A and B are shown apart, each in its own frame.
Chain A
């Protein structure tokens, strides 16, 4: 179980980081880049709970710090707490529910963008909020949400297909999801 989680999380983390930093950045130095690592952190918070999300968040932030910041640990701290808070919502987890995780990603993105504005703009003596909103925050928010619509289902699919096949976990899922048993019972019947 734990092994499977790590085995899926590490490649996902590396892949998302590399795509975010190399592929998408190549398109433009100043344009809006979707915050894929945030999608991953919050997504795992909803799918797996605090522990996984915190770990993933911490290492996501650490990568961002190492490759982009003068102070190492700042993004790690932000993503760590994002992961923790997202992980608290794991109790609502239902495989068929898409609105909750997408809303969570939206909220997290807004919080992170707000923090970035305060940390990197206001503390540098730059109060151009209108510019920040128009030039950076809105495009980034839009692109993050767009990518999360594609990536969250992908994460969910991997999770349901390869990770959550543990019997105990399956039982837990059955306990929780009374309403959406149609799909699950089909699966059970097949096995």
Chain B
């Protein structure tokens, strides 16, 4: 069983911070002192005060409330995009390794094709053509990222596919479903989990980049990256409003990876994590 005292301190910090971010995102309307698009101050970039803990932004909106709503959008898009890229990339990668032959060749060359175009440029082109809404954003981010996951999972699965226990399963007559999900997946979990932590953060950063360029989340909503963009001009005047969402991205990155490392420790155990 899971024993809290046996979790290393670093992982515990990661778990606490990550859960705080998640709770903030889920209960955003209850926590936020003001509305997301509500203009509460006459002066833009108002200083931090008891009414506005983090001050206000470039339009005089409460920055804390914006941050809380921003967590919601950032996490929602990043989580869904990562989930999509992993399910797509891992399943296609594993099946390419198991089936081999033409299936593998065609899929691998398609992925090479996609990867040969820089992700950002590809994203910009596709997003400027397609209607700008959350669904397209998630789909584009997920599919572009899945190429990296595909390559990793195919490489890992090719090694596992030649093990005697996979051969034993094939001799038993098992279908590809069992081989992919019950024989290969559990043994490929460790590299995938460590990649997951990294890819999730890349998704947050990619979303920030897209928003920064104006193709991501559309105003008045904003993810943290978009908020950096909105407030970037303030830096010139010594106003820290742009640094707060940036710091939030950094904190999220670190805490998610602390959790991923801890999960990794447990998935590498060959004794079911109980030994």
Is the A/B pair a real complex? no
